[in-house]
Amino acid sequence: MAIPVKTILLIEDDPFISDMYARSLRKAGYQVDLISNGEDGAKTALAKQYDLILLDILLPEKQGSEVLKILRGDKDLVPNSRVLVLTNFSQDDESRQAMQSKADGYLIKADITPRKLIEIIQSLK
Amino acid sequence: MAIKIHDYFARYRSRSILFVTLIQLVAAALAGGFLWLVWQQNSDGALNFAITVAATVAAINLVFTPIIWWAVNHPTRTLTQAIAHISKDPVVTPPPKLSASDERTGLKALVQTVYELAIATNPKTADQTVGTNAGAVKPTAASDFFQTVADLTPCGIIVINKQGTITYANTAAPTSPTPSGSRGIDLIFEQNNSLGAWLSDARANKVRDTHQWFRVGDKLPGEPDRRIFDIIGYYQKNDASDIEVVLVTFDRTAVYINDQEDMDFIALAAHELRGPITVIRGYLDVFNQELAPKLTADEHMLLERLQVSAERLAGYVNNILNVSRYDRHQFTLHPQEESLPSLIQSIGPDLMLRAKTQNRSLVFKVSNDLPTIAADSSSLGEVITNLVDNAIKYSHDGGQITVGATPKENWVEITVQDQGIGMPSNIVGNLFTRFYRSHHSRQQVGGTGLGLYICKTIVDAHGGSIWVRSVEGQGTTFGFTMPTYASVADRLQSGNNSTKGIVRRPEGWIKNHAMYRN
């Protein structure tokens, strides 16, 4: 059964990319917040407990991997959120790191059009 | 010996004779000319003097030429015979005969040194030492000397006999003792380019052979103190000798580590390229959704062309990244049970659009009741995409491309067929080489030459094989095999507990919590 996603936090420093996804996600009816650095991203994610967090890896202030460690390090501080790493790094090291840091998925941005992203969100189980 | 030593000596001898004869002719001509000049002077005293001089020159010439000739020719021939004898030259087999005078001149000592050196490098030569005249040459400290020299060189030297046992390895050679008391080679060869594979090929088909390996590590990537070698192997079929294979290894760790940094740069550059590609593909997708109903047919076609181009660009970047990962031995697959029809369903629309915008028709003949396969869906998608792209490139306007799949015992064979320009058989063998581009492609079509190389890499990594059949002017069919899931299921499950509940997609992976958290 698909899980219902209503609120989404997009942590992404490239304004074009974040606008691109946000535009389509909002149009599809999701409530989307945008944060452009890791430090604020982690704080906001903890404070507001989103249904879904989309997390870039290369971020100012704090890398995406560090944000993941804060959220899901020793203890899962966002138990009701799904965290999808959304990055253009496809090295296996990064992928393994994301898995070890307990992300819920790892997607290559260049291959994820807004439409595909919505499909994936709708199919989350 | 590749060069016949005897032939070399024969050439040396004929050249020497020619040279001495030339000098004699010049001397005779000079003497004759001198005589003629004096004759013209018409003076008796001078004529007598000149005849005396000319006669003396001729006498000296006659007496000393053979002496000089013998002094040069004899030692050269003796040495040549000795070397020919040691190396079993088919023309000159008897050992050189040495006389008492050779002992005085030191030639005997020289020949003995040659035999000693030969014994030091190949103990078997001791059985057929120099003839009785020269006296027996015994192994000496020379072998210890060479052992020391070999241990001082930074190159590794490994000698292997017919039984496959290492009979010699110097200090620098990447070998270590095995539990059975012999030595083993610490090198991790690639599966399809291993020492064993080369050796069995050489044993079956060759008398002599040389082979090179590059970037062979002694440990797996990531292990500490890993060294990376280039290796040259020499094989010689030799029933009598204990030496069948000599491997020389060069420690190139320092060079390849730098290379690795270059590769990291490629990965980083590709990451940078993907940023704008994300934006272009994404906004085109938005455009397509929002504008499509309002566009004229012509405008719609332009939009589709933009979309296809952006997708191809993304594909090229993926190819470059794959090659860079493969070259760094960081290319890992995550094979899972996959259904080919559903993979085709996910990548099909993009491929159809690609074909359509370039005025080709693309047909999928993939039956829904195929057995599931064990594949990394993202990599398999890249193989099919590359082959279809290739078929589009090398086919005619309006041509048809057919993607088919047939089960074959433990495999599913996937084919991509075009009715395009085809290619001559002589270039087919090179197709899967990196950066290889055919004669047509260099003239007519652009591309990086990476596509087929990465296809082969991915198919090989799945344990499958890739082939091509082509008729010039009629078209080309590429085919490759993927293992059925049933044939490898037990192997996959045993090593893959950590990835249970992971759903892989062409764009990445997602955890399926319905499976994962229970």
**pLDDT tens across B31-70, in order?**
888 888 877 777 777 778 778 877 887 788 778 777 777 7
Q: Is the separation of the CB atoms in B98 and B107 below 8 Å?
A: yes
- Residues B469-496 pLDDT 10s: 888 888 889 999 999 988 887 777 655 4
Round to whole Å and give the CA distance between B292 and B296: 9
Closest CA to A110 of B323, B312, B329: B312
Token duo for residue B116: 């000693």
- Which pLDDT belongs to residue B1? 47
Q: A-chain residues within 8 Å CB-CB of B515?
A: 125
* Cα dihedral across residues B278, B279, B284, B290: positive or negative: positive
Q: Is the separation of the CB atoms in B427 and B441 below 8 Å?
A: no
The pLDDT confidence band at residue B25, using thresholds 50, 70 and 90, is: confident
Per CATH, B153-251 and B332-516 having the same topology is answered no
Interface test with A, best of B264, B271, B319 (most A CBs within 10 A): B271
The pLDDT confidence band at residue B499, using thresholds 50, 70 and 90, is: low
Closest CA to B50 of B23, B25, B63, B31: B31
Position B100 pLDDT exceeds 60: yes
Helix, strand, coil shares of chain B as percentages rounded to 5?
55, 20, 25
Task: Determine the distance in angstroms separating the CA of B280 from the nearest CA of chain A, rounded to an integer.
Answer: 9
Round to whole Å and give the CA distance between B488 and B464: 12
Task: Determine the distance in angstroms separating the CA of A85 from the nearest CA of chain B, rounded to an integer.
Answer: 10
Q: B-chain residues within 8 Å CB-CB of A118?
A: none
The pLDDT confidence band at residue B388, using thresholds 50, 70 and 90, is: very high
Q: B-chain residues within 8 Å CB-CB of A108?
A: 274, 507-508
Residues shown for chain A: 125
Position A121 pLDDT exceeds 50: yes
Closest CA to B359 of B319, B400, B303: B400
Round to whole Å and give the CA distance between B431 and B91: 45
Q: Is the separation of the CB atoms in B412 and B403 below 8 Å?
A: no
Q: A-chain residues within 8 Å CB-CB of B314?
A: 110-111
Q: B-chain residues within 8 Å CB-CB of A84?
A: 510
Of A65-74, B27-36, B336-345, B430-439, the poorest mean pLDDT is in: B430-439
Task: Determine the distance in angstroms separating the CA of B469 from the nearest CA of chain A, rounded to an integer.
Answer: 32
Of A103-112, B102-111, B289-298, B497-506, the poorest mean pLDDT is in: B497-506
Determine phi and psi for B403, rounding to 5 degrees. -105, 120
Contact criterion met (CB < 8 Å) for A111 and B332: no
**Which residue, chain included where needed, has tokens 């003792």?**
B177
Residue ranges covered by each domain of chain B: 5-134, 153-251, 259-324, 332-516
The pLDDT confidence band at residue B132, using thresholds 50, 70 and 90, is: very low
DSSP symbol at A4: P
- The structural domains of chain A, ordered by start, are 7-123 (3.40.50.2300)
SS (H, E, C) B138-158: CCCCHHHHHHHHHHHCCCEEE
Closest CA to B97 of B84, B108, B113: B108
Minimum CA–CA partner of B316 in chain A:
A110
Closest CA to A69 of A91, A43, A106, A98: A98
Which residue type, as a one-letter code, is found at position A102? K
- Which pLDDT belongs to residue B3? 55
Contact criterion met (CB < 8 Å) for A91 and B267: yes
Minimum CA–CA partner of B350 in chain A:
A111
Q: B-chain residues within 8 Å CB-CB of A121?
A: none
- Which pLDDT belongs to residue B4? 66
Closest CA to B125 of B134, B114, B135: B114
Round to whole Å and give the CA distance between B441 and B451: 13
Minimum CA–CA partner of B268 in chain A:
A89
- Which pLDDT belongs to residue B404? 93
Mean pLDDT score, B121-148: 52
Minimum CA–CA partner of A123 in chain B:
B512
Mean pLDDT score, B366-370: 88
Of B159-173, B269-283, B482-496, the poorest mean pLDDT is in: B482-496
Residue B142 CA from chain centroid, whole number: 35
Position B334 pLDDT exceeds 80: no
DSSP symbol at B497: G
CA-CA-CA-CA dihedral for B483, B488, B494, B498, to nearest 10: 20
> Within 10 A of B221 (CB to CB), how many other CB atoms are there?
12
Determine phi and psi for B90, rounding to 5 degrees. -65, -25
Architecture of the domain whose range is B332-516: 2-Layer Sandwich (3.30)
The pLDDT confidence band at residue B234, using thresholds 50, 70 and 90, is: very high
Position B440 pLDDT exceeds 60: no
Round to whole Å and give the CA distance between B362 and B398: 10
Determine phi and psi for B468, rounding to 5 degrees. -140, 145
Contact criterion met (CB < 8 Å) for B278 and A90: no
Mean pLDDT score, B105-109: 82
- In this structure, the strands spanning A105-108 and B156-160 are unpaired
> Within 10 A of B291 (CB to CB), how many other CB atoms are there?
12
Q: Is the separation of the CB atoms in B358 and B395 below 8 Å?
A: no
- Which pLDDT belongs to residue B92? 55
Tell me the percentage of chain A whose pLDDT exceeds 70.
89
| Mean pLDDT (chain A, rounded) | 86
Task: Determine the distance in angstroms separating the CA of A47 from the nearest CA of chain B, rounded to an integer.
Answer: 24
Superfamily of chain region B153-251: PAS domain (3.30.450.20)
- Which pLDDT belongs to residue B417? 92
Q: Is the separation of the CB atoms in A98 and A85 below 8 Å?
A: yes
Position B89 pLDDT exceeds 80: no
Tell me the residues of A at the B interface, defined by beta carbons under 8 Å apart. 1, 3, 14, 16-17, 20-21, 23-24, 58, 82, 84, 88-93, 95, 104-116, 120, 124-125
Tell me the residues of B at the A interface, defined by beta carbons under 8 Å apart. 267, 271, 274-275, 277-279, 281-286, 289, 314, 317-318, 321, 325, 330, 332, 505-515
Minimum CA–CA partner of B312 in chain A:
A111
Contact criterion met (CB < 8 Å) for B278 and A115: no
Between B115 and B379, where is the model more confident? B379
Minimum CA–CA partner of B317 in chain A:
A110
- Which pLDDT belongs to residue A8? 95
Q: How open is the CA angle B498-A102-B494, to the nearest 5 degrees?
A: 0
Token duo for residue B436: 């290889």
- Which pLDDT belongs to residue B383? 92
With a CB cutoff of 8 Å and minimum separation 6, the contacts of A100 are: none
The predicted complex's ipTM stands at 0.86
- Which pLDDT belongs to residue A19? 92
- Residues A23-77 pLDDT 10s: 999 999 999 999 999 999 999 999 998 999 999 988 888 888 888 888 888 888 8
With a CB cutoff of 8 Å and minimum separation 6, the contacts of B366 are: B340, B341, B344, B403, B404, B405
Task: Determine the distance in angstroms separating the CA of B322 from the nearest CA of chain A, rounded to an integer.
Answer: 9
Round to whole Å and give the CA distance between B510 and A82: 10
Of B275, B325, B507, the CB nearest to A111: B507
Task: Determine the distance in angstroms separating the CA of B513 from the nearest CA of chain A, rounded to an integer.
Answer: 6
- Which pLDDT belongs to residue B35? 80
Tell how many helices (H) and how many strands (E) occur in chain B.
15, 16
Task: Determine the distance in angstroms separating the CA of B352 from the nearest CA of chain A, rounded to an integer.
Answer: 17
| Mean pLDDT (chain B, rounded) | 79
Residue A79 CA from chain centroid, whole number: 14
Q: How many CA atoms lie within 13 A of A54 on its CB side?
A: 30
Tell me the percentage of chain B whose pLDDT exceeds 70.
82
Closest CA to B375 of B289, B483, B454: B483
- What does B315-356 look like in DSSP terms, one character per residue? HHHHHHHHHHHHHTT------EEE-HHHHHHHHHHHHHHHHH
Mean pLDDT score, B447-469: 84
Q: Which residues pair with B208 in a beta bridge?
A: B236
**Which residue, chain included where needed, has tokens 């080369």?**
B198
Token duo for residue B389: 């792209």
Q: How many CA atoms lie within 13 A of B272 on its CB side?
A: 6
> What's the predicted TM-score (pTM) here?
0.55
Of A100-104, B136-140, B179-183, B419-423, the poorest mean pLDDT is in: B136-140
The pLDDT confidence band at residue B114, using thresholds 50, 70 and 90, is: confident
Position B311 pLDDT exceeds 80: yes
Token duo for residue B288: 């397509």
| Strands, sheet with B411-418, edge to edge from the N-terminal-most edge strand | B361-365, B400-408, B411-418, B475-483, B466-471
- Per the rule left: phi > 0, alpha: psi between -120 and 50, beta: everything else, B16 is alpha
Round to whole Å and give the CA distance between B158 and B246: 6
